[in-house]
């Protein structure tokens, strides 16, 4: 068994106790149903309610609203790691916990928190964030969805695409343009609730991987959103997004490192068991060197990830370091999936093989949350280039 690198103690006894609870919960409530969810393209709503009852949603939300009141990022990180270990779909929980809930816990008024946070923490409400558009992906400043003030409402018009939890979501955090003449500084954030007139969902999108994670387009056609659903200040949306993106990117990096560790474990197990020419395939020098390289790279990724988690807990994680973690770990995830699938040979190419699912799930990681190219651009600018 490959041991987890521990340059400095990262997880304490309380985190490992939490890990055991999460593992038991997933084995009981998620694993037996996951193949069906993969075929149906969506997770049962009941899982969200059970996750809320188990304390797995809104872990950093204030306790007065039903949250865990625990700002330590290591808890959602453990949840993510155990989702990967159990081979249960991850993006929906990341979007709900590490993106939307974290925005609403700090950017909302007390009245808004009373309206939304209890449901988000209990799983009665599922959340999504809607930023990407058909013509505005990596460049948030190109968003075309508009929100025009009309009395006590804003009228939203536009389209969003690739929205995780788009079908299940009861609350959608929408980025829209409220001051077109101000470019990227003219964006605002709104919560659009299920059933709002003028808000419609497109068909479920079929993806290469993460098939149990419901993804769809969203449409806003004269959608009247109460002014009380504006999050924070008008025109401050870009600043809020830039502040929240490091956490989202660290969450994606957590998925990447956990997936790399799982794929490496799978590859090592297969290399020890699979026989060719009268010996285990792991004993051939080429394969042994490949696995040694993978082990080294995954160890480095884990150490840097743990460093970044320590930094975010201390309030010091920079946008550049979050970008480094995001692009390097996700590109490594794609590379590890390629090498691990190759090692499995024909069996790895079968749809029923766990490594084939990991290969398919890995590819989007370098795209959402900011592409690798955008991450490198951010890092380059941080160097004064």
Active site residues: 248
Buried b (16+ CB within 10 A) or exposed e, 331-344: bbbbebbebbbebb
Buried b (16+ CB within 10 A) or exposed e, 108-147: beeebbebbbbbbbbbebbbbbbbbbeebbeebeebebbb
376/362 Cα distance (integer angstroms): 19
Cα angle at 72 between 115 and 109, to 5 degrees? 25
Residue 276 exposure: Cα atoms within 13 Å on the Cβ side: 12
User: Whole-angstrom distance between the N-terminal and C-terminal Cα of the chain?
Assistant: 44
Instruction: Kindly report the number of other CB atoms within 10 A of residue 288's CB atom.
Output: 14
Alpha-helical regions (H) of the chain: 13-29, 34-40, 45-53, 74-85, 91-93, 101-107, 110-122, 237-273, 285-313, 319-344, 354-362, 372-382
Q: CB under 8 Å to 213, separation ≥6 — which residues?
A: 43, 89, 90, 91, 92, 164, 165, 207
In terms of phi and psi (left: phi > 0; alpha: psi -120 to 50; beta: otherwise), the region of 158 is: left
Q: CB under 8 Å to 167, separation ≥6 — which residues?
A: 42, 201, 204, 214, 215, 216
10, 14, 16, 21 alpha-carbon torsion, rounded to 10°:
-150
Residue 172 exposure: Cα atoms within 13 Å on the Cβ side: 34
């Amino acid at each position: 068994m490959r041991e987890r690198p521990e340059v400095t103690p990262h997880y304490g006894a309380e985190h490992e106790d939490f890990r055991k609870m999460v593992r038991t919960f997933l084995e009981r409530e998620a694993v037996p149903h996951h193949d069906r969810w993969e075929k149906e393209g969506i997770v049962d709503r009941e899982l969200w309610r059970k996750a809320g009852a188990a304390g797995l949603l809104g872990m950093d939300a204030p306790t007065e609203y039903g949250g865990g009141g625990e700002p330590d990022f290591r808890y959602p990180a453990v949840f993510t790691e155990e989702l990967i270990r159990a081979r249960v779909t991850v993006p929906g929980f990341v979007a709900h916990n590490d993106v939307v809930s974290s925005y609403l816990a700090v950017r909302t008024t007390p009245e808004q928190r009373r309206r939304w946070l209890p449901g988000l923490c209990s799983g009665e409400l599922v959340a999504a964030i809607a930023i990407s558009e058909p013509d505005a992906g990596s460049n948030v400043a190109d968003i075309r969805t508009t929100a025009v003030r009309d009395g006590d409402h804003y009228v939203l018009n536009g389209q969003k695409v690739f929205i995780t939890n788009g079908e299940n979501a009861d609350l959608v955090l929408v980025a829209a343009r409220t001051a077109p003449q101000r470019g990227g500084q003219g964006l605002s954030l709104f919560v659009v609730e299920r059933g709002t007139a003028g808000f419609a969902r497109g068909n479920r999108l079929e993806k290469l991987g993460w098939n149990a994670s419901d993804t769809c387009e969203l449409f806003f056609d004269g959608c009247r959103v109460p002014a009380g659903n504006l999050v924070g200040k008008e025109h401050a949306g870009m600043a809020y997004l830039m502040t929240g993106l490091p956490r989202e990117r660290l969450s994606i990096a957590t998925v990447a490192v956990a997936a790399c560790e799982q794929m490496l474990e799978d590859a090592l197990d297969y290399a020890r068991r699979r026989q060719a020419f009268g010996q285990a395939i792991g004993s051939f020098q080429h394969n042994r060197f490949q696995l040694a390289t993978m082990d080294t790279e995954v160890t480095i990724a884990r150490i840097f990830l743990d460093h970044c988690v320590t930094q975010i807990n201390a309030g010091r994680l920079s946008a550049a370091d979050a970008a480094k973690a995001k692009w390097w770990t996700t590109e490594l995830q794609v590379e590890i999936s390629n090498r691990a699938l190759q090692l499995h040979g024909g069996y790895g190419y079968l749809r029923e093989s766990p490594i084939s699912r990991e290969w398919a799930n890995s590819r989007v990681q370098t795209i959402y949350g900011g592409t690798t190219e955008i991450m490198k651009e951010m890092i380059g600018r941080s160097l004064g280039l």
